[in-house]
A and B are shown apart, each in its own frame.
Chain A
Amino acid sequence: MDIIYVLWLRQVRRYWRSGSRLLGTLGQPILLLLALGYGIGAIYRRAGEGNYLQFLVPGIITQTVLLSGIFWGMIILQDKRFGFLAEMLVAPVSRVKILLGSALGGATISIFQGILVFTISMLLGFRPHSWALVGPAFLVLVLMCVALTSFGAGIASMVDDFQGFQGINNLIVMPMFFLSSALYPLTNVPVGLKIVSSINPVTYMVDALRYLLANQTHFGLGKDLIVMAITFVACLFFAVSRFNRIQM
Chain B
Amino acid sequence: MVKSIIGAKSVTKRFGDIVAVDNIDFEIREGEIFGFLGPNGAGKSTTIKMLTTMLRPTSGRLTLDGHDVAKERDSARKAFGIVFQDPSLDEELSAYENMDLHGALYSVPKALRRIRIKELLELVELDGRQDYMVKTFSGGMRRRLEIARGLLHEPRVLFLDEPTLGLDTQTRNLMWDYVKKLSHEKGMTIFFTTHYLDEAEAVAERIAIIDHGKIVALGTTPELCKQTKTKTLEEAYLQLTGKTLRDEASSGNDGLNFKTALRNQRLR
Binds B, one of A2-10, A122-130, A131-139, A216-224: A2-10
Within 8 A of A (CB), among B144-194: 149
Once the chains bind, are A92 and B104 in contact (CB under 8 Å)? no
- Write the A171-207 contact mask toward B (1 if CB under 8 angstroms, else 0): 0000000000000000000000000000000000000
Size category of the binding interface on chain A = 20 to 34
In the complex the two chains form, what is the Cα distance from A13 to B102 in whole Å?
16
Which A residues are CB-close (under 8 A) to B256?
Answer: 80-81, 83, 248
Q: Which of A81, A83, A93 contacts B84 (CB 8 A)?
A: A83
Determine if B58 is an interface residue (Cβ-Cβ < 8 Å). Answer: no
- Write the B187-228 contact mask toward A (1 if CB under 8 angstroms, else 0): 000000000000000000000000000000000000000000
Determine if A160 is an interface residue (Cβ-Cβ < 8 Å). Answer: yes
Once the chains bind, are A92 and B55 in contact (CB under 8 Å)? no
Size category of the binding interface on chain B = 35 or more
Which B residues are CB-close (under 8 A) to A81?
Answer: 254, 256
Known A-B contacts A13-B97, A86-B54; the reply to A248 vs B88 at CB < 8 A is no
Determine if B265 is an interface residue (Cβ-Cβ < 8 Å). Answer: no
- Write the A70-83 contact mask toward B (1 if CB under 8 angstroms, else 0): 00000000001111
Known A-B contacts A2-B104, A90-B53; the reply to A14 vs B93 at CB < 8 A is yes
Which B residues are CB-close (under 8 A) to A84?
Answer: 88-90
Which A residues are CB-close (under 8 A) to B102?
Answer: 87, 91
Within 8 A of B (CB), among A189-248: 247-248
Determine if B5 is an interface residue (Cβ-Cβ < 8 Å). Answer: no
In the complex the two chains form, what is the Cα distance from A81 to B257 in whole Å?
9
Once the chains bind, are A88 and B105 in contact (CB under 8 Å)? yes
In the complex the two chains form, what is the Cα distance from A169 to B93 in whole Å?
27
User: Residue on A with the closest CB to B97?
Assistant: A13
Interface majority SS (helix, strand, loop, mixed), chain A:
helix
Which A residues are CB-close (under 8 A) to B254?
Answer: 81
Determine if A43 is an interface residue (Cβ-Cβ < 8 Å). Answer: no
In the complex the two chains form, what is the Cα distance from A199 to B92 in whole Å?
39
Which A residues are CB-close (under 8 A) to B52?
Answer: 90
Within 8 A of A (CB), among B43-91: 49, 52-55, 73-75, 77-78, 82, 84, 86-91
Cross-chain pairs A/B with CB under 8 angstroms, 30 sampled: A2-B107, A3-B107, A6-B104, A10-B93, A10-B97, A10-B101, A13-B97, A81-B256, A82-B86, A82-B87, A82-B91, A84-B88, A84-B89, A86-B84, A87-B88, A87-B89, A87-B102, A87-B149, A89-B54, A90-B52, A90-B82, A91-B77, A91-B102, A91-B105, A92-B74, A92-B77, A93-B105, A160-B257, A247-B258, A248-B54
Closest 4 CB pairs of A and B: A83-B88, A91-B105, A92-B77, A6-B104
Extra contacts, 5 of them, besides A84-B88, A91-B77, A247-B258 (Cβ < 8 A), are A18-B92, A83-B88, A88-B105, A90-B82, A160-B257
